[in-house]
């Protein structure tokens, strides 16, 4: 049991990578707060965990709203007494729009969900972590946060910001017993594509050029195993960095 009695908050845990992270953490002994804007899906994840003998509850959270993040962490502390692990997984895609076609409203929504939420939730848990001089933050970035052509301009910029924020946070609090790392998945079989609307033909055609060298898509369970490594003491010397998980796509 690598996470025995730890309290983990996982956003975007109704499906995909977040769901598998929540399930794996619970299987390793963590008490899991299953957070998602899709409460029905979050409840399904929590029920699956409890059916397997784990401990979890679901909570509806729109990570784009400051008050929802406040409520999420306050509820976690009220229910389980503390927070030990924060996984910022919730995120949405853009529509492959290049710079000339980005609309302000879409840019702002993508940043609110993908980037600002990461800052706000981190800011909210830091007093808890600082008091006990211990805590782990795991941000789900993307290959789009490392390279320029895995998505449109807004998504790419939002995930680059997550990478930078991860490195800064990891360094700033390294002497306080707090670790902050990110995972940058390549193509993973999740339903994030459902957040894509009005696909930009030009942007998609440019993005598609690199797909031929993608060895394969990953499974959410594969990303969850990396998230377990980063949450556990197995990664005690890993901080302020990004683990790329893309089957070698970016090695070309």
Asked if pLDDT for residue 192 goes beyond 90, the answer is no
Query: By the 8 A CB rule, do 180 and 165 touch?
Result: no
Q: Is residue 2 part of a domain?
A: no
Higher pLDDT pick, 54 / 195: 54
pLDDT on residue 198: 86
Quote the Cα angle for 19-188-106, to 5°: 85
The half-sphere exposure of 242 on its side-chain side, counting CA atoms within 13 A, is 25
184: left (phi over 0), alpha (psi -120 to 50) or beta: beta
Q: Is residue 49 part of a domain?
A: yes
Average pLDDT over the chain reads 97
Of 159, 146, 149, 252, nearest in space to 204 by CA = 149
Q: Is residue 189 part of a domain?
A: yes
DSSP 69-132: HHHHHHHHHHHHS---EEEE----------GGG--HHHHHHHHIIIIIHHHHHHHHHHHHHHHH
What percent of the chain shows pLDDT beyond 70? 100
- pLDDT band (50, 70, 90) for residue 195: confident
Give Cα separations from 158 to 1, 38, 65, 206 (angstroms).
Answer: 34, 22, 17, 19
Catalytic residue among 80, 155, 173, 252: 155
User: Tens of pLDDT along 20-68?
Assistant: 999 999 999 999 999 999 999 999 999 999 999 999 999 999 999 999 9
Chain centroid to Cα 158, Å, comes to: 13
pLDDT on residue 11: 98
Cα separation, 119 vs 122, whole angstroms: 5
Range of the structural domain that residue 215 is part of: 7-251
Cα separation, 140 vs 35, whole angstroms: 15
Q: Is residue 173 part of a domain?
A: yes
Residue 129 buriedness (CB in 10 A; 0-12 / 13-18 / 19+): buried
User: Tens of pLDDT along 198-244?
Assistant: 899 999 999 999 999 999 999 999 999 999 999 999 999 999 999 99
Of 54, 57, 100, nearest in space to 77 by CA = 57
Asked if pLDDT for residue 194 goes beyond 80, the answer is no
- pLDDT band (50, 70, 90) for residue 115: very high
Cα separation, 50 vs 57, whole angstroms: 9
pLDDT on residue 193: 72
Cα separation, 249 vs 200, whole angstroms: 23
Q: Is residue 194 part of a domain?
A: yes
Q: What is the mean pLDDT of residues 191-200?
A: 80
Of all helices (H) and strands (E), which one includes residue 167?
helix 153-172
Task: Find the CATH number of the domain harbouring 215.
Answer: 3.40.50.720
- pLDDT band (50, 70, 90) for residue 197: confident
Cα separation, 67 vs 121, whole angstroms: 11
Asked if pLDDT for residue 251 goes beyond 80, the answer is yes
Is the pTM for the entire model greater than 0.85?
yes
- Hey, is 237 helix, strand or coil? coil
Q: Is residue 1 part of a domain?
A: no
Instruction: Tell me if residue 80 is catalytic.
Output: no
Q: What is the mean pLDDT of residues 11-20?
A: 98
Query: By the 8 A CB rule, do 66 and 41 touch?
Result: no
Count of domains in the chain? 1
Q: Is residue 113 part of a domain?
A: yes
Give the least confident one: 64-78, 111-125, 179-193, 227-241. Answer: 179-193
Q: Is residue 21 part of a domain?
A: yes
């Amino acid at each position: 049991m690598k996470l025995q009695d730890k309290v983990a908050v996982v956003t975007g845990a109704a499906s995909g990578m977040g769901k598998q992270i929540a399930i794996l953490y619970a299987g390793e002994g963590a008490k899991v707060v299953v957070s998602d804007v899709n409460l029905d899906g979050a409840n399904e994840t929590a029920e699956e965990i409890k059916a397997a003998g784990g401990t979890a509850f679901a909570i509806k959270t729109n990570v784009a709203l400051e008050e929802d993040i406040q409520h999420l962490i306050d509820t976690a502390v009220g229910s389980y007494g503390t927070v030990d692990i924060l996984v910022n997984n919730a995120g949405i895609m853009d529509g492959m729009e290049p710079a000339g076609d980005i609309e302000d409203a879409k840019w702002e929504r993508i940043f609110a969900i993908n980037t600002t939420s990461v800052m706000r939730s981190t800011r909210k848990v830091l007093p808890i972590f600082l008091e006990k001089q211990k805590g782990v933050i795991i941000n789900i970035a993307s290959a789009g946060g490392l390279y320029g052509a895995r998505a449109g301009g807004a998504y790419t910029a939002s995930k680059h910001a997550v990478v930078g924020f991860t490195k800064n946070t990891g360094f700033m609090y390294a002497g306080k017993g707090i670790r902050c790392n990110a995972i940058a998945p390549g193509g993973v079989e999740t339903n994030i594509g459902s957040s894509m609307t009005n696909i930009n033909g030009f942007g998609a055609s440019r993005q598609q050029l690199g797909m031929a060298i993608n060895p394969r898509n990953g499974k959410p369970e594969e990303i969850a195993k990396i998230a377990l490594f980063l949450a556990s003491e197995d990664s005690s010397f890993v901080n302020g960095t990004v683990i790329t998980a893309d089957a070698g796509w970016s090695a070309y």
